[in-house]
Structures are given as structure tokens and as C-alpha cells.
Amino acid sequence: MENTFDMLIIGSGPAGLGAALYAARAGLNAAIVEKNPVSGGQIINTTEVDNYLGLPGIGGYEMGETFRAHVEKMGAVFIEDTISSVKSSDGLYVAEGVSGTYTSKTIVFAMGAERSRLGIPGESEYVGRGVSYCATCDGAFFRKKDTVVIGGGDVAVEDAIYLAGLCEHVTLVHRRDELRASVSLQNALLSRENVTVEWNSVAEEVIGEGKVTALKIRNKETGETKEIPASGVFIAVGMDPVSELAKGVCDLNERGYIIAGEDCVTSAPGVYAAGDIRTKHLRQVITAVADGACAVSSAEVYIRTL
């Protein structure tokens, strides 16, 4: 395979696929590198996506497949590889993968974000034995059992609603007295009879014996602690960018997001950041796809100057 490109897109979530679509249409010699051939990024773990224009209620996995099929039809080149480093060399960028080395005039970082860890005792110990970061992936293991979800954003509330359909009882533990999640999700959650919310409460420890048996929480107002018996603890307290590869290539902010505006231009010439990995106000599928288009538009201008 030709290993020198106009554009190397790293990551095949909505941002990377959006970039691949626009690169193909622009006639660029581009390739999209993905760790495995299941495209879609975070959305493949989402049961239903209801806020993408024209595809109401589509399943997350189906959405990833639909996006990929469109991009493949446009002639995009997919490479299955895991990139371990990106370095600049003689005005080009060299990406080292497990299966090959790729040289490109431009790079689009589109590796997205992953669930944050809480860092409480027992959390890492019980990952895969009751602690999970993905309700749609692991929820079925807790059918008819009691579970706890930690967090108050869209993901936590979506997870709690999904689990309420499978589990005996779900407790949502949130550190404040109001949820951050959208009002429609809040209404859907609070109408469930088998959901309880522990307000103003923080998780202190995951308790278990070989596998999870309870979550210890502390009420911030009263200082009281208690253990909620549960087989599963689902942690949904935000996201961290997957930006390790970009360190030393372009500037990141203090939380690890690549600093880039709506044009997706980073501090390094020829390097673009698209989707959840960049500094931005709204991290959604619809804005990630748009970023892919903007990154290619910016890169085309840069390539013409070479």
C-alpha cells in the first residue's frame, strides 16, 4: 500500500469519518486509521441517538455502520492499525503504527474521548467484576439485580434509564441537588418507578468480595455515610480526551484537550483536531461530523501552500 498521504486521519468516530468523507470529495490522497474495523467511536455504545438531523432514534451501532458505509462508498481508504507516535520530519508528519509507518503532509487527530475514572478505593480493583464505564455494553450482566450509577450528566442519566429497563433497582448518585442532564432525559428518568436518586452525595468506595457488593456514599450536607447494596457500579462522571499521541506535536490545554477553534487548526502547521478531542463548547455527534468537514477545508488551504 502507498504509505505517503496528503492527509492521515487518526480515529474513525463521527469526526474522523466526517473528515474522510470531505477528504474523499476533495480528491485528497487520504487514509483513515482505526484500531478496529468497527467505526463510530463512542456512539456504538449508545442505545439510541435522537439528536442527529435526519436519523431520529437511530441505534448508535447502526449509526456508526451507516456513516462508514457512506464514507466507503465515496472511496475512502481505511487502515486497521494502532498508531503509537506522530513526529514531524522535514515538513511532513510520520506516524508509527504497529503494522506500518505512514508519512503525510497533514494529520487530523480525531481520537475522541473516553470515560473519566473517579479514582476512589475499589474502583480499579473491581473493573470487569462489577465496576463498568459502559451500561449498554455491560448492563445485561446485571439483569434483575441492583445497580448504582454515579454522575448527573446526559451519559449518567441515559445509563440509569437503560439500566432501569433491565435491573431490579437503580440508584443514581449525584454530587449536587440538580442534574446537569437535559430536561427530557431528567423527566424520563424520574418517571421510572425503580429509580432512586441520592442527591448531594459522593461515592467514597466500591466494596466487594471478589466482585462488587455495595457502594459506600457520603452525603455532603449531613456528612452521613451509608452503603448501597449493588452488584454493578456504573461510573459516568464525564470524559477525558484520548490525546496522548498529540503531546509534543501541538498544544493541549490543562485537561488534555487539543487547543483548536472551529476551523480545527492547531498550533502545529498541517495538524488539525476534530471532534471531542478539541477544545469546544458542545461535544455531540453533529458537531463532531461538522469538525471533520472544517478540518479538511482548513487542510486544503494549507496543502495548496506547500
Active-site residue set: 134, 137-138
Site string for ligand NAP, 202-221 (x = CB under 6 A): x-------------------
- Assess 118 for contact with ligand NAP (CB under 6 A): yes
Q: Closest Cα to residue 67, out of 129, 110, 130?
A: 110
The full length of the chain comes to 306
Give whichever of 150 and 274 is closer to ligand NAP, judged by the CB atom. Answer: 150
Using the contact rule CB under 6 A, the part of the chain among 94-102, 132-140, 174-182, 208-216 near ligand NAP is 174-182
- Distance, CA of 5 to CA of 155 (rounded, Å): 37
Among 59, 229, 238, 269, binds ligand NAP (CB under 6 A): 238
CB of 31 to ligand NAP, least distance (A): 28
CB of 153 to ligand NAP, least distance (A): 2
- Assess 63 for contact with ligand NAP (CB under 6 A): no
Angle between helices 60-73 and 14-25 (to 10 degrees): 20
Q: 466526517: which residue's cell?
A: 18
Q: What is the DSSP string of 236-253?
A: -S-EEE--GGGTTTS-B-
Using the contact rule CB under 6 A, the part of the chain among 87-95, 160-168, 218-226, 230-238 near ligand NAP is 230-238
Q: How far is CA 273 from the centre of its chain?
A: 15
Pairing of strands 101-109, 77-80: unpaired
- Assess 153 for contact with ligand NAP (CB under 6 A): yes
CB of 34 to ligand NAP, least distance (A): 21
- Distance, CA of 143 to CA of 106 (rounded, Å): 47
Phi, psi at 233, each rounded to 5°: -125, 115
CB of 243 to ligand NAP, least distance (A): 16
Among 19, 63, 148, 236, binds ligand NAP (CB under 6 A): 236
